[in-house]
Amino acid sequence: MSAAVPEIEERVAQPYMAIRASVAMAGLPGLAARFGEVFGWLGAHGLAPAGPPFFKYNSIDMARELEVDVGVPVAVAADGDGQIIAGVLPAGRYATLLYVGHPSGLIAANGALLDWAAGQGIKWDMSPGEGGELWGSRLEIYLTDPAQEPDMAKWQTLLAFRVAG
């Protein structure tokens, strides 16, 4: 795993279009195939992506399931159509970590960011709920286009977790 040093950065609000899915942890890798549906919907509606695709983790219960938005940022919010939903990534302070490597290393990279934040006394925009941890904005942003870089060991993923307050 290759990960840079975590940082705190200000991020602006960002509209996005997504497919919301509930999956067990084992089903998470299969969600990446849903990006094609979101990109196809954007193209059919004359909308261009305004940045790289991402997973937004809304709730996390590692033992049962996760609720995830399979999202693509857009310049201007649009109305969804049932399967495709509109959302906004909230503005605020985010702890970020750039991970370079195979997606199988993302669990360790997430752990490294969580551990770093705990050591810094950072509190997350997260609260406990019946469905596990409820996150205001916890992102895995996929910076590498697999069509342009087939070597998964070179893929870049930016982790960005919103800080409380």
- Over residues 148-152, the mean pLDDT reads 95
Q: What is the mean pLDDT of the chain?
A: 94
- The whole-number pLDDT of residue 39 equals 97
Domain ranges, ordered by start, for the chain? 2-162
User: Nearest-CA neighbor of 25 among 68, 56, 86, 54?
Assistant: 68
pLDDT digits (tens, 9 = 90+) for 24-39: 988 888 999 999 999 9
pLDDT digits (tens, 9 = 90+) for 102-142: 999 999 999 999 999 999 999 999 999 887 999 999 999 99
CA pair distance 61, 72, nearest whole angstrom = 24
SS3 of the chain: the string is: CEECCCEEEEECCEEEEEEEEEECHHHHHHHHHHHHHHHHHHHHCCCCECCCCEEEEEEECCCCCEEEEEEEEECCCCCCCCCEEEEEECCEEEEEEEEECCHHHHHHHHHHHHHHHHHHCCCECEEEECCEEEECCEEEEECCCCCCCCCHHHCEEEEEEEECC
- The whole-number pLDDT of residue 165 equals 80
pLDDT digits (tens, 9 = 90+) for 88-107: 999 999 999 999 999 999 99
Q: Which fold has domain 2-162?
A: Multidrug-efflux Transporter 1 Regulator Bmrr; Chain A (3.20.80)
pTM, whole model, 2 decimals?
A: 0.94
**Radius of gyration (Cα) for the chain, nearest Å?**
15
With 80 as the cut, is the pLDDT of residue 21 above it?
yes
With 70 as the cut, is the pLDDT of residue 2 above it?
no
pLDDT digits (tens, 9 = 90+) for 47-70: 999 999 999 999 999 889 999 999
